[in-house]
Amino acid sequence: MTIDKSLKIRRGGSANRSVLTRIERLEKLKETERWKEGDSPLGLPKVRVRKLVMKKKKKKKEEEGDEATTSEAAN
């Protein structure tokens, strides 16, 4: 029997997660001073997870290089 594609482990494995572990949430709350040492770790407030979106770079340099090689080939 084969494994469904959605269940396979992808390369990289460190994709953006939408859920933080309790320790990660405590660290974020400490940074924003919303949790102090000695407070209960149960019933923590929500912590927003920001996803980093990488913008694709334009292929301007490659296009210029392609135009130069095609014009040289035509001559």
pLDDT tens column, 2-16 = 878 877 776 655 666
CB 47 within 8 A of CB 19: no
Decide if pLDDT at 59 tops 80. no
Compute the distance between CA of residue 42 and CA of residue 22 in angstroms, rounded to an integer. 9
Q: What is the mean pLDDT of the chain?
A: 76
Compute the distance between CA of residue 48 and CA of residue 32 in angstroms, rounded to an integer. 12
What pLDDT sits at residue 56? 76
Decide if pLDDT at 43 tops 80. yes
Report the greatest alpha carbon distance in the chain.
77
What pLDDT sits at residue 48? 85
The domain segmentation of the chain, as residue ranges, is 18-50
In whole angstroms, how far apart are CA 7 and each of 2, 4, 16, 17, 39? 10, 5, 17, 16, 38
CB 68 within 8 A of CB 49: no
pLDDT tens column, 18-35 = 788 889 999 999 999 998
